[in-house]
């Protein structure tokens, strides 16, 4: 049963990632990968919120599998982040490559912190 929850979450997360990435990237005329940045930060926030909910007892392990492993696992993408950062550097956009690496890590960690804090305020 656990694998079904992960698959169902992934079935929602993967197309959501693609559609969000395309929608965000179409609105920006830059080489910076705003679409990937957006899905990764949003996924970090959701995972932080979910983790806080699990710790507070407001969500169980089934919800964690469905949303955390399935949805967030398919929504976020470390491999695309890495590839896009490498491509920026190879194409001579070293500033954007460095900015993507630093901003993604800082914003991702910040989003997790905000998500956990938000969950703590809601359920603690």
48-101 tens-digit pLDDT = 999 999 999 999 999 999 999 999 999 999 999 999 999 999 999 999 999 999
- Helix, strand, coil percentages (3-state) for the chain, rounded to 5, are 85, 0, 15
pLDDT exceeds cutoff 90 at 1: no
Positive or negative CA dihedral for 37, 39, 42, 47? negative
Q: What is the pTM of this model?
A: 0.95
Residue 19 has pLDDT above 90, yes or no: yes
Q: Is 43 annotated as a binding residue?
A: no
Residue 48, marked binder: no
Cα–Cα separations (whole angstroms), residue 57 to 42, 47, 49: 22, 15, 12
């Amino acid at each position: 049963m656990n694998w079904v929850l992960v698959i169902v979450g992934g079935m929602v997360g993967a197309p959501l990632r693609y559609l969000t990435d395309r929608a965000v990237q179409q609105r920006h005329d830059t080489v910076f990968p705003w679409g990937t940045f957006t899905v990764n930060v949003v996924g970090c926030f959701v995972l932080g919120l979910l983790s806080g909910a699990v710790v507070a007892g407001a969500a169980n392990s089934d919800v964690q599998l469905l949303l955390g492993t399935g949805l967030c696992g398919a929504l976020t993408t470390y491999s695309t982040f890495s590839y896009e950062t490498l491509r920026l550097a190879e194409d001579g956009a070293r500033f954007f490559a460095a900015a993507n690496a630093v901003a993604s890590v800082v914003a991702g960690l910040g989003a997790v912190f905000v998500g956990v804090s938000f969950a703590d305020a809601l359920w603690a």
